[in-house]
Amino acid sequence: MWKAADKLRGSMDASQYKDVVLGLVFLKYVSDAFEERRTALVDELSGESDDVVADTLEDPDEYRAEGVFWVPATSRWEFIARNAKGIAASGTDDAQSVGKLIDDAMRQLADENESLRGTLPTIYGRDNIDQRRLGELVDLMNSVRFAGEGATKARDLLGEVYEYFLDKFAKAEGKRGGEFYTPPAVVRVLVEILEPHEGRVYDPCCGSGGMFVQTEKFLERHNEDPTKISVFGQELNERTWKMAKMNLAIHGIDTHGLGSRWQDTFARDIHPGIQMDYVLANPPFNIKDWARREDDHRWRFGVPPVRNANYGWMQHIWSKLAPGGEAGVVMANGTMTSNTGGEGAIRQNMVEADAVSCIVALPGQLFRGTQIPVCVWFFAKDKSRGRGGSIDRSREVLFIDARELGQMVDRVERTLSDDDIEKRIAGTYRAWRGRASAPREYADEPGFCKSATLDEIRDAGYALTPGRYVGTSASAEDLEPIDEKIARLTRELTAALDESARLDGVVREQLGRLG
Nearest C-alpha neighbor of 202 from the set 321, 315, 120: 321
Residue 257 in 3-state DSSP?
helix
Residues 227 and 338 occupy one common structural domain:
yes
What CATH number did the domain enclosing 305 receive?
3.40.50.150
* 174 in any annotated domain: no
Residues 83 and 200 occupy one common structural domain:
no
Residues 162 and 190 occupy one common structural domain:
no
Largest CA distance in the chain: 117
Q: pLDDT under 50 in the chain at which residues?
A: 89-94, 177, 476
d(CA 76, CA 172) in angstroms, rounded, equals 30
d(CA 498, CA 502) in angstroms, rounded, equals 6
What integer pLDDT is reported at residue 450 of this predicted model?
A: 98
d(CA 478, CA 489) in angstroms, rounded, equals 13
* 226 in any annotated domain: yes
What integer pLDDT is reported at residue 157 of this predicted model?
A: 66
Evaluate whether 336 touches 464 at the Cβ level (below 8 Å).
yes
What integer pLDDT is reported at residue 90 of this predicted model?
A: 43
d(CA 425, CA 362) in angstroms, rounded, equals 10
Q: Give residue-wise pLDDT tens across range 50-95.
A: 999 999 999 999 999 988 899 999 999 999 999 888 775 444 444 6
d(CA 48, CA 45) in angstroms, rounded, equals 6
The stretches of 149-293 forming alpha helices (DSSP H) are 151-173, 184-194, 210-221, 238-250
Evaluate whether 97 touches 86 at the Cβ level (below 8 Å).
yes
What integer pLDDT is reported at residue 476 of this predicted model?
A: 44
d(CA 177, CA 367) in angstroms, rounded, equals 9
Residues 162 and 279 occupy one common structural domain:
no
Residues 204 and 125 occupy one common structural domain:
no
d(CA 101, CA 72) in angstroms, rounded, equals 13
Residues 419 and 512 occupy one common structural domain:
no
d(CA 186, CA 370) in angstroms, rounded, equals 14
Residues 455 and 492 occupy one common structural domain:
no
State in Å, rounded, how far the first CA of the chain is from the last one: 78
Residues 6+ apart with CB under 8 A from 472: 446, 447
Give the sheet arrangement for strand 199-203, strand by strand: 229-233, 199-203, 276-281, 321-332, 374-380, 356-361, 396-401, 449-453
What integer pLDDT is reported at residue 198 of this predicted model?
A: 95
Residues 344 and 464 occupy one common structural domain:
yes
Nearest C-alpha neighbor of 315 from the set 283, 341, 288, 337: 283
* 477 in any annotated domain: no
What integer pLDDT is reported at residue 180 of this predicted model?
A: 64
DSSP 387: S
What integer pLDDT is reported at residue 34 of this predicted model?
A: 92
Residues above pLDDT 70, as percent of the chain: 90
Evaluate whether 304 touches 335 at the Cβ level (below 8 Å).
no
b/e map of 322-354 (b: 16 or more CB within 10 Å)?
beebbbbbbbbbebbbbeebebbebbbebbeeb
* 476 in any annotated domain: no
Evaluate whether 367 touches 178 at the Cβ level (below 8 Å).
yes
* 173 in any annotated domain: no
Residues 57 and 97 occupy one common structural domain:
yes
d(CA 241, CA 204) in angstroms, rounded, equals 12
Evaluate whether 463 touches 337 at the Cβ level (below 8 Å).
yes
Evaluate whether 158 touches 25 at the Cβ level (below 8 Å).
yes
Residues 492 and 514 occupy one common structural domain:
yes
* 175 in any annotated domain: no
What integer pLDDT is reported at residue 417 of this predicted model?
A: 96
b/e map of 495-507 (b: 16 or more CB within 10 Å)?
eeeeeeeeeeeee
Nearest C-alpha neighbor of 155 from the set 70, 227, 247, 93: 247
What integer pLDDT is reported at residue 350 of this predicted model?
A: 98
What integer pLDDT is reported at residue 91 of this predicted model?
A: 42
Q: How many domains does the chain have?
A: 3
What integer pLDDT is reported at residue 132 of this predicted model?
A: 86
Last residue of a domain, one of 114, 134, 168: 168
What CATH number did the domain enclosing 71 receive?
1.20.1260.30
Q: Give residue-wise pLDDT tens across range 33-58.
A: 899 899 999 999 998 999 999 999 99
Residues 491 and 390 occupy one common structural domain:
no
Nearest C-alpha neighbor of 375 from the set 339, 402, 354: 402
Residues 79 and 208 occupy one common structural domain:
no
Last residue of a domain, one of 139, 168, 197: 168
Print the domain residue range for 497.
Answer: 482-515
The two beta strands, 229-233 and 199-203, are: parallel
CA distances for 117 relative to 111, 159, 206, 260, angstroms: 6, 21, 19, 8
b/e map of 284-307 (b: 16 or more CB within 10 Å)?
ebebeebebeeebebbebbbbbee
Q: What is the torsion angle, in degrees rounded to the nearest 10, for the CA atoms of residue 392, residue 393, residue 395 and residue 397?
A: 180
Query: DSSP for 267-288?
Result: T--SSTT--EEEEEE-PPTT-S
Last residue of a domain, one of 128, 147, 168: 168
